[in-house]
Structures are given as C-alpha cells and as structure tokens.
Amino acid sequence: MRGERRPLCETWTYARQEKRLNVFHLRCLRRIFGISWKDRVTNTAILEQAGIPTMHTLLRQRRLRWLGHVHRMNDGRIPKDILYGELASGKRPPGRPQLRYKDVCKRDLREVDIELDNWEELADDCSRWRQGLHKGLQKGEMKIRQLAQEKRAHKKHTKDLPDTQYICKRCSKDCHSRVGLHSHNRRCK
C-alpha cells in the first residue's frame, strides 16, 4: 500500500479555519511586500500585486483536485471507501449536524459551477477535470473579489455618521466624541 499523506487543509470542513489561514496568508504577503496596515492597501490589491488567488480559492482547488483523484482510485482503496461509504447503523447527536467532507465538496462544486449530478463523469478524465476546475475557480475568484469591492463601497457610503455636539469652534469640524474634539483642538490652529 502506497503511503499517501495529504495536507490537512484538504480535509478541513470549518470556515473559521479557512478565515484564519487567509488572514495569516495576507499578513505574510504584507510583510513580504513591506506594506503596513497604516498604508491602507486593500487585500485585493495585495493579492493582485502578488499574482495569486485568495486562500479560500487555493483550499477549494486542493479539495476538488483531491476529490477527483479519490474518484479515479481503484475500488478497495481506503480513501475511496471512506468517501463513498455509508454507515449501517448509528445515531448523530441532537442539534445541527456537523459538516462532513462530502458537504464541503458539494458546496465547492456548486461554487465552481460543476453540476452535482455528473461531476463523476467529468472527474473520470483528469485533463477535463483540471480544465473545468481551472475555469470554475477563476470565476469564483472574480466573484470573491467583486463581493469584497462591493462590500468596501457599501461601507464607504454608510459611513455617514450623524452630526454630534462635538464640533470644533475654529474650523467647524465634527469630531464625534469629546476625546476626538480634544485631540483635534490641539492640532487645529
């Protein structure tokens, strides 16, 4: 039996882990490029500068490649038996069921516009599978970046705070807090 050790990220099912890894990834890129958070450079701009996709897309790519690889394995191999196996008996605890690897793969297949009914036919041919993943992942990455851009634009428009009583007497700037007004008055001449 061949020893196939796969990185853990291909079996993750929790969005919290993915978010933390994405934050770490972007922090490392900022450090490599020498960009401080004070420079106010967006994550999208950093990823474009590096020429790489988000960590969410990279993890989705690895999961789906592994899924296609497992599907093409011979019957009787442990990873394939686990992927396609069903428990004969047993009960889940009450409450929302925990995500399974299959559930995450189904979500990923939907995100890259591969139909759930015939993904196995596509996965049978390795080159078609990779080509389909490449196209779908590019669309998904564009969608992620567009959503981030829309969120940023929405945040800018809703940032209009109501006027407050903390207004500078010299320049009529609204400082929104007593501390802010005090700090502003030291600099305002």
Is 1 part of any domain? Answer: no
- The answer on pLDDT for 158 being more than 70 is no
CB atoms within 10 A of CB 44: 15
If asked whether residues 39 and 118 sit together in one domain, one would say yes
pLDDT of residue 135: 94
If asked whether residues 21 and 83 sit together in one domain, one would say yes
Q: Token pair 């009529």 is at which residue? A: 172
If asked whether residues 123 and 139 sit together in one domain, one would say yes
Is 3 part of any domain? Answer: no
pLDDT bucket at 5, cuts 50 / 70 / 90:
low
**Mean pLDDT, residues 108-126:** 92
Percentage of the chain beyond pLDDT 70 is: 90
If asked whether residues 106 and 55 sit together in one domain, one would say yes
**Mean pLDDT, residues 48-65:** 92
152: amino acid identity, one letter: R
**3-state SS, residue 170:** coil
**Stated pTM of the model:** 0.72
Q: What is the mean pLDDT of the chain?
A: 86
If asked whether residues 182 and 98 sit together in one domain, one would say no
How many domains in the chain? 2
If asked whether residues 143 and 188 sit together in one domain, one would say no
If asked whether residues 83 and 14 sit together in one domain, one would say yes
If asked whether residues 70 and 145 sit together in one domain, one would say yes
pLDDT bucket at 1, cuts 50 / 70 / 90:
very low
If asked whether residues 34 and 66 sit together in one domain, one would say yes
pLDDT of residue 4: 56
Rounded CA Rg of the chain = 24
Domain that holds residue 172: 162-189
Residues 17, 20, 25: CA angle, nearest 5 degrees: 120
Q: What does the pLDDT look like over 79-106, one tens digit per residue? A: 898 888 887 888 888 988 888 888 899 9
If asked whether residues 77 and 105 sit together in one domain, one would say yes
* CA-based end-to-end distance of the chain: 78
Instruction: Calculate the alpha carbon distances from 53 to 127, 166, 187 in Å.
Output: 21, 44, 43
Contact 161, 149 (CB under 8 A): no
If asked whether residues 101 and 183 sit together in one domain, one would say no
How far apart (Å, rounded) are the C-alpha atoms in residues 136 and 109? 9
- The answer on pLDDT for 125 being more than 80 is yes
Q: Token pair 């474009």 is at which residue? A: 48
pLDDT of residue 142: 92
Is 2 part of any domain? Answer: no
pLDDT of residue 157: 73
Q: Token pair 């705070």 is at which residue? A: 161
- The answer on pLDDT for 32 being more than 60 is yes
